[in-house]
């Protein structure tokens, strides 16, 4: 099933203007929502049983209708003016809750109404949740109908405190969910929600998988594990057990040198430095080197800057556009669903500006791969055209130390508090969930969502 087919076979899902050919009647002031017929008050009908509504107040369930709302239960943890989308764990928990209701014998004869009565930010997140759920069941079950979204919902924004420079709408998020399902990045039968919620916490490592088995984004390690300005810092050694267990072979550092790279390389990890200033965008040389490193890594790649959000997300997004042909908006949306706060300020426009050229590079890369597989190229490994990356024993595909030093000029970041420092401080102030033990001792209990 193609994306175009899925998107074209749509119903007026969240549009809220028409329902079953009838113009919706909006509740008048002073009237309770219960006084209106179901078909005239609910914003859309997904199935014969499931409805979604944006209301002005909470409503109660009735004999023929079960109503529920997650406005208070699932809340986005913002940095500044950002308010969504809700992260992967919250989307998972919503799917579990809704699936359980749809499979409930006691609710089988009732209409199930998921509604929101919050502000515009809550409405946008509720629409994102139900829309993403629709995408997931359509993708997995091969159903014909999916949503068609209009512009009535407030667009999401980045985790900065300045003027919003880039809007991410709900449809971008839904397309990102669709692509993640298509490429196998999102599989709730294998998703460990406890593990996700544990490791996203600053005190437990502050990392998230963006592409499972390929890219892990994490907050930058420190020379030694300690608490600084309320933020838990972790030494490189704290990550070793988890990295080895999950076949992470390569570390890419984008911020200033807070630790000696030998602490990773002496333990068998590849380590690369590709510094650029906090809050800024990379030059073409850094983008090429990053892509080449990732294309030739033996295992998964762990990428960090200071907070593991802006610079980290920017370069991972470039890889996603080149190798999976995601749009810039889809890449940013998926990264924020996995790791809220990713890609900030001018980095958003940078990613968008690189989309066309990276799509073209990706097409050429795949053409080379195909020729190689057909025996038309007598090469054993495809490089991305960067002459200064060589294969040489244990230093395969690594830039020389001299070249890395030339790339690396972190004087500007060494002085003063940067964007990454502020973001890490904000994250550390969030209410900590119960957590004990090392970074590698979490259980592997799986939470499976009933299909």
State the catalytic residues.
305
- Nearest residue to 3 (alpha-carbon basis) of 146, 188, 186, 158: 146
* Residue 234 CB contacts under 8 Å (≥ 6 apart), including other chains: 205, 219, 221, 222, 225, 439
Distance separating alpha carbons of residues 90 and 434, to the nearest angstrom: 17
Distance separating alpha carbons of residues 95 and 89, to the nearest angstrom: 10
Distance separating alpha carbons of residues 342 and 333, to the nearest angstrom: 9
Task: State residue 76 phi and psi, 5-degree precision.
Answer: -70, 135
Count other Cβ atoms within 10 Å, centred on residue 66.
Answer: 17
Element (H, E) at 217: strand 215-218
> Dihedral sign, CA of 431, 433, 434, 440?
negative
Burial of residue 18, with CB atoms counted within 10 A of its CB: 0-12 exposed, 13-18 middle, 19 or more buried: exposed
What are the beta bridge partners of residue 10?
A: 146
Distance separating alpha carbons of residues 261 and 263, to the nearest angstrom: 5
Going by their DSSP bridges, the two strands 207-211 and 111-116 should be labelled as: unpaired
Distance separating alpha carbons of residues 341 and 78, to the nearest angstrom: 8
CB environment 208-239: b (16+ within 10 A), e (fewer): bbbbbebbbbbbbbbeeeeeeeebbbbebebb
Residues 306, 422 contacting (CB under 8 angstroms): no
Distance separating alpha carbons of residues 171 and 420, to the nearest angstrom: 29
């Amino acid at each position: 099933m193609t994306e175009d087919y899925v998107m074209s076979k749509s119903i007026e899902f969240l549009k809220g203007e028409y329902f079953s050919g009838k113009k919706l009647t909006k509740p008048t002031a002073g009237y309770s929502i219960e006084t209106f017929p179901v078909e005239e008050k609910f914003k859309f009908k997904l199935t014969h049983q499931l409805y979604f509504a944006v209301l002005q107040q909470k409503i109660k369930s009735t004999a023929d209708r079960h109503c529920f709302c997650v406005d208070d239960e699932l809340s986005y943890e913002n940095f500044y003016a950002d308010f969504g989308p809700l992260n992967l764990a919250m989307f998972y928990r919503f799917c579990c809750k809704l699936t359980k209701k749809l499979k409930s014998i006691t609710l089988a004869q009732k209409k199930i109404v998921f509604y929101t009565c919050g502000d515009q930010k809550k409405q946008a997140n509720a629409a994102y949740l139900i829309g993403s759920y629709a995408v997931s069941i359509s993708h997995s079950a091969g159903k014909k109908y999916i949503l068609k979204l209009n512009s009535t919902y407030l667009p999401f924004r980045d985790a900065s405190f300045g003027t919003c420079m880039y809007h991410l709408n709900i449809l971008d998020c839904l397309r990102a969910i669709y692509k993640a399902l298509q490429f196998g990045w999102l599989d709730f039968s294998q998703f460990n929600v406890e593990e996700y919620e544990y490791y996203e916490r600053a005190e437990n490592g502050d990392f998230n998988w963006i592409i499972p088995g390929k890219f892990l984004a994490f907050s930058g390690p420190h020379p030694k594990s300690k608490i600084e300005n309320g933020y838990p810092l972790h030494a490189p050694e704290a990550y070793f057990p988890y990295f080895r267990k999950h076949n992470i072979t390569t570390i890419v550092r984008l911020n200033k040198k807070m630790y000696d790279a030998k602490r990773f390389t002496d333990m068998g990890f590849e380590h690369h430095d590709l510094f650029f200033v906090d809050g800024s965008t990379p030059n073409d040389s850094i983008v090429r080197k990053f892509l080449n490193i990732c294309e030739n890594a033996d295992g998964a790649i762990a990428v960090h800057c200071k907070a593991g959000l802006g610079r980290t997300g920017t370069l991972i997004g470039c890889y996603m556009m080149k190798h999976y042909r995601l749009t810039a908006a889809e890449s940013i949306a998926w990264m924020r669903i996995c790791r809220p706060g990713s890609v900030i300020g001018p980095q958003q426009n940078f990613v968008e500006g690189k989309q066309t050229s990276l799509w073209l590079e990706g097409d050429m890369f795949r053409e080379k791969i195909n020729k190689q597989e057909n025996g038309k190229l007598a090469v054993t490994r495809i490089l991305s055209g960067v002459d200064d990356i060589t294969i040489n024993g244990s230093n395969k595909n690594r830039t020389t130390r001299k070249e890395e030093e030339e790339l690396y000029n972190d004087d500007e970041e060494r002085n003063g508090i940067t964007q990454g420092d502020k973001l890490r401080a904000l994250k550390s102030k969030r209410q900590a969930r119960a957590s004990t033990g090392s970074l590698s001792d979490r259980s592997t209990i799986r939470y499976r969502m009933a299909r």
